[in-house]
Amino acid sequence: MSLQGKVVLITGAGRGIGLGIAHCFVQQGASVVVTDLDAAMTQAAELELGKDAMGLVADAASQVAMRDAVNQVIGRYGKLDVLVNNAGIGGPLTQFEEIAASDSAFLGMSDEVWDEQLMFNLRTAFSSSNAAVPHLSDGGSIINIASIAALGPTTMLPAYGAAKAGVVHLTKTLAMELAPRRIRVNCICPGLLWTRAWELLTTQMQASQPELANMSLRQIFEATVADMTPLGGEQTPEDIGNLAVFYASDNARMITGQIVAVDGGISTK
Ligand SMILES: NC(=O)c1ccc[n+]([C@@H]2O[C@H](COP(=O)([O-])OP(=O)(O)OC[C@H]3O[C@@H](n4cnc5c(N)ncnc54)[C@H](O)[C@@H]3O)[C@@H](O)[C@H]2O)c1
């Protein structure tokens, strides 16, 4: 499934799933640009991905910052073929202790944390797409990273789930909007991956469930995976990257507006 000659921009790819997706695209011969908020991680990712890669510090939730990033991509590579909207955060950045200690994540959540979650997990896909679409090659592709939290309710994640459900809807809207240019827009819903996002979630679980006090965060994650996953085992960034590569390839030329969970069967239950 060669992607030789394709130029791919992946947001929030300084670590975790985004960096794993970047490696999958590099393996298929694509030129990869990674963006992140964190300068040190962005620089490390650029080095790790090889000399054809570029790292840019840019807030995926800002049209201004992402227009500047896209202009730099066009300046260096002359075009942009694929945008992967991966940037997002699993747990609250602020008011963390209050939410973790509350019996109800919903009742414990302020307007500010709600807005923060929607900005990081939904506006990121909107603002980055808005900046990229005018420059995307006709016949190109947008790939949105949502979550299984978009497909069914999780009381621990009311705002995150709503934001990711918004990403699913935005996927279908943009698929219609961009079909005349043969730009395909598809979505991946990852299941359970051991990244910084799950370190935050297991910290939240431990704070609100005293029976988890003697377990390590990794053990809490493994127990959650064992309990939830029909196929058994956690998913990896490469599992997500393999589908992203397929979506971006000509093999998927008639696939648009689709939502696929890479979750070991969790969402079928
Ligand atoms: N880990 C999981 O189990 C899981 C499951 C379902 C969906 N997801 C989704 O996968 C995506 C990647 O998550 P991850 O687990 O790799 O998390 P992570 O926290 O390890 O990595 C996310 C990266 O995105 C960056 N980022 C966050 N907001 C940004 C912004 N506004 N602009 C630029 N960069 C930004 C962070 O700095 C970080 O480097 C997210 O959208 C997340 O919601 C993760």
- Centre of ligand 1 from the C-alpha of residue 88, in Å: 4
| Angle value at C-alpha 209, between 204 and 214, nearest 5 degrees | 95
From the list 167, 163, 197, the residue with the least C-alpha distance to 259 is: 167
- 201 CB near ligand 1 (under 6 Å): no
Task: Determine the distance separating the centroid of ligand 1 and the alpha carbon of 266, expressed in angstroms.
Answer: 20
Residue pair 128/84 in contact (Cβ under 8 Å)? The answer is no
- List, by residue number, the catalytic residues: 160
Residue 251 CA to ligand 1 centre (angstroms): 27
Residues pairing with 187 in the sheet: 144, 259
Cβ of 143 below 6 Å from ligand 1? no
Measured in angstroms, how far is the CA atom of residue 180 from the centroid of ligand 1?
31
Give dist(CA 96, CA 202) in Å, integer. 12
Which amino acid is residue 83, in one-letter code?
A: L
196 lines ligand 1 (CB under 6 A): yes
**CA 182/CA 97 separation, integer angstroms:** 46
* 208, amino acid identity: S
- Tens of each residue's pLDDT in the chain, 269 residues: 789 999 999 999 999 999 999 999 999 999 999 999 999 999 999 999 999 999 999 999 999 999 999 999 999 999 999 999 999 997 666 666 777 677 888 998 999 999 999 999 999 999 999 999 999 999 999 999 999 999 999 888 999 999 999 999 999 999 999 999 999 999 999 999 999 989 988 988 898 889 999 999 999 999 999 999 999 999 999 999 999 999 999 999 999 999 999 999 999 98
* CA gap 215, 227 in Å, rounded: 16
Kindly state if the Cβ of 237 falls inside 6 Å of ligand 1: no
The C-alpha atoms of residue 171 and residue 145 are separated, in whole angstroms, by 10
Alpha helices in 209-236 (DSSP H): 217-228
Whether the CB of 193 sits within 6 Å of ligand 1: yes
* Best CATH choice for the domain 7-192+236-268 from the list 2.40.480.10, 3.40.50.720, 3.90.1170.50, 3.40.718.10: 3.40.50.720
Mutate to test the pocket of ligand 1, among 33, 34, 37 (most ligand atoms within 8 A of CB): 37
pLDDT of residue 74: 98
Instruction: Note if the pTM is more than 0.85.
Output: yes
Output the six-digit token pair for 245. Answer: 């590569």
